Chains A and B, each alone.
Chain A
Amino acid sequence: MALPASSIAPAANVLEVQGLSVRFRTPRGPVLALRNVSVEVPRGSVVGLVGESGSGKSTLALAVMGLMSGNASITEGSLRFAGRELLGLKPHELRALRGDRLSMVFQDPMTSLNPVRAIGLQMLDIQYRERSLSLAEKRRKAADMLRRVGIPDPERQMGRYPHEFSGGMRQRIAIAMGVLERPELLIADEPTTALDVTLEAQIIQLLRDLRREFNTSILFISHNLGLIAELCDIVVVLYAGEVVEQGTVRDIFHRPRHPYTQALLECDPARIAEVHRELPTITGDVPNLLRIPTGCVFAARCPSVFDRCRVEQPADYPAGPAHLARCHLLAERRDG
């Protein structure tokens, strides 16, 4: 399933983020929300971006989409989509990609659906590029996709407005709109967080099917480890704006090497086989991004911290063929 990143030629990656740093201007000073982040999405794969709130997951997604807020700027790095550099593209060039070859599904579908326009019309709107198709053909295409994502009787439903659908149906509609133009990359930012587990399972299955059918690559953002394990081939762990570990889904879940990844997995009550009233936690707080600590970002909370961690920033050490961890412990083991 997941190919080791090293064996893939560059063109095989739909998305290549290299050394990306994003800075937000705030009244209290610059916030370095992403620092030297490198992520690859091989064509046809599902890459999971996991991390706690404030880790920079959504910032990365918005940077790729070119949808960052006005006070954010990319200070370093490159974003290559299908071999083409996205940074420096003119707004109309980016617009030509967005919604066509590159699309996104958000956590709350109400924010991406227009509340005063029937969903059928919205699905026609997003096909504005296709001048060769007639209106009837566009309608049929929209109805087919709605049926595909599990909306019964789509021809009739297309006249209804977003508020007339349940939360689960709205998210299906948002996904149908996201994949309508068969994008090469779909970014899904916490697409099931607002849904019940039963619907969540249906949406995950839907994303799996769509990937199989259309060979869509997916960048799946979640803080839910269970969903990451269910869906993804490759997992990237973000902490306080840095990628602390990345590898295949089995590397991350079965052989995590970074103490943060290990702590995060230990905290998940679904992974604790024995019943315990007292649940594990990660002591301490996420560092303030206005004052990034020197050394390792996780040092203040790390159970295995030692002197070097507080003064020197660790490099990305290989822990397997496609497995990297940004931790001095790996260097110690290699040296020793």
Chain B
Amino acid sequence: MAEAALQETPPAAAGEMLLEVENLHVRYRMMGPIRAKLLQLPNRFLDAVLDVSFRLRRGTTLALVGESGSGKSTLGRAITGLVPIAGGQVRFEGREPLKINPRGEKSYHRDVAMMFQDPVSSLSPRRTVRSLITEPFVIHGLGGRDLDAEARRLLALVGLPRDFAGRYPHQLSGGQARRVGVARAVALSPKLIIADEPTAGLDVSVQGEILNLMTRLQRELGLTYLIITHNLAVVRHVSDETAIMYMGRFVEQGTTREIFERAAHPYTAGLLAAQPHPDPDKRREEVPLLGEVPSLARRPAGCEFHTRCPRAQPLCRQQRPAVHRVSASHLHRCHFPLIDTP
């Protein structure tokens, strides 16, 4: 692998922290206290996100990777204020936008935009593209602007022809619908975009187009991205940093290069090995990770991954691993990491 290509070059505006998340805890209520007592359940809440901390520099991309149910979408929603947080802090440009108003102040919602998973179902079928991409202005009381001009600007920005303004979602291809989703997200010139599976369900040729569009907009508009995905092949190319989530916790985080070349956690290694190789001479003969993520309602004791871990020891079943630091950027939670920890 060429050395030069792997050098991560932080964008010019990098350096300053845009988003700082500390010990974030999100939980969903499953049942009332009486029912929990009757069923003798120790915990009537589901902990969807537990003790998550990370910092995101302006102009960079962080990828959140994990299986379904790992809490990655919940984490994205909690940061935008769509899901209330149960503990911890979310600091954006040094302020705590969710502290006073748990749903987030209105100015925060202009700074943080969300790109939803399924573009066709997240676009209202009865509205034109023009109406869809200018809706954010109306919601934020900016309807006085020249909305036709804004629509033209946004269509040009995401590379759609001007006459698309009059189309309806069902007249769009999957890739075009994603572009409309991107246009909606960038409409109010946000600083941070949280993209939930931005390319899921797209063909590879179209996937590249959407990722290239996002890269270009990041460069031109100085955007910061939090990308939620399970596609590691894409993560390797587009993100500066990567966090691996399992049952609501970050089990490993680091620069994308550290995660791909020096994975410490057996879960990370298993996810990497589970990616199919598009080469018939590199077929896998064994399945890297068996089983499925256990129910969040029955969180295993000790290290939550021990039920599926090929390296689990008695210690893993009893004691929850602490956060270990490999380098300034590389952290993991494993008693028996795959690499030497200094």
A residues contacting B by CB (< 8 A) are 52-53, 166-169, 193, 196-202, 204-205, 223-230, 232, 249-250, 253-254, 263-265, 267-282, 285
Q: Is B167 positioned at the interface, with any CB of A under 8 Å from its CB?
A: no
Instruction: Enumerate chain A residues within 8 angstroms of B215, measured Cβ to Cβ.
Output: 277-278
**A285–B175 Cα gap in the complex (Å)?**
10
Name the distance in Å between B320's Cβ and chain A's nearest Cβ.
Answer: 22
Known pairs A226-B276, A275-B6; A269 contacts B287 (CB<8 A): no
Inter-chain contact B288/A229, CB cutoff 8 Å:
no
B203 and A52 form a contact (CB under 8 A): yes
Q: Is B127 interfacial (CB 8 A cutoff)?
A: no
By Cβ-Cβ distance, the 10 closest A-B pairs, closest first, are A226-B276, A279-B208, A270-B233, A282-B205, A52-B203, A281-B208, A274-B5, A196-B67, A249-B280, A267-B204
Report the Cα distance A254→B282, complex, angstroms. Answer: 12
Q: Report whether B277 and A229 are in contact in the complex, using a CB–CB cutoff of 8 Å.
A: yes
Give how many B residues have a beta carbon under 8 Å from the other chain's beta carbons. 47
Give the distance in Å from the alpha carbon of A262 to the alpha carbon of B125 in the complex. Answer: 36
CB of B206 within 8 Å of the partner chain = yes
B16 at interface, CB cutoff 8 A: no
A-B contact count (CB 8 A): 132
Evaluate whether A201 and B288 lie within 8 angstroms (CB atoms) in the complex, with A267-B208, A281-B209 already known: yes
Partner of A201, one of B173, B233, B281, B284: B284
Q: Given the complex of chains A and B, what is the CA–CA distance between A282 and B209 in angstroms?
A: 9
A267 B280 Cβ-Cβ under 8 A: no
Contact B5 A276 (CB under 8 A): yes
Given A268-B233, A274-B2, A275-B5, also A201-B274 (CB < 8 A): yes
| CB < 8 Å neighbour of B274 from A52, A198, A223 | A198
Task: Decide yes or no: A264 and B204 within 8 Å by CB, A226-B275, A253-B278 being known contacts.
Answer: yes
Q: Is B212 an interface residue (CB 8 A)?
A: yes
In the bound assembly, the distance between CA atoms of A53 and B205 in angstroms comes to 11
Q: What distance in Å separates the Cβ of B192 from its nearest Cβ neighbour in chain A?
A: 19
Cα–Cα distance between A195 and B1 once the two chains are bound (Å): 30
Q: Are B279 and A197 in contact (CB under 8 A)?
A: no
Tell me, yes or no, whether B147 is within 8 Å of chain A by CB.
no
Q: Are A269 and B205 in contact (CB under 8 A)?
A: no
Query: Is there a chain A Cβ closer than 8 Å to B236's Cβ?
Result: yes
Contacts of B283 in A (CB 8 A): 229-230
Q: Which residue of B lies closest to A285 (CB)?
A: B173
Q: Tell me which residues from 232 to 272 in chain B have a Cβ below 8 Å from any Cβ of chain A.
A: 232-234, 236-238, 256-257, 270-271
Contact between B211 and A279, CB atoms less than 8 A apart: yes
**Contact between chains at B278 and A225 (CB < 8 Å):** yes
Complex CA gap A249/B209 in Å reads: 27
Write out the residue numbers on chain A whose beta carbons fall within 8 Å of the beta carbon of B1.
Answer: 273-274
Which residue on chain A has the smallest CB distance to residue B8? A275
Distance of B82 from chain A, by nearest CB (Å): 23
Residues of the B chain whose Cβ atoms lie less than 8 Å from the Cβ of A267 = 204-205, 207-208
A196 and B204: CB pair below 8 A? no
Contact present for B237 and A229 (CB under 8 Å): no
Which of A204, A229, A281 is close to B205, meaning CB atoms less than 8 Å apart? A281
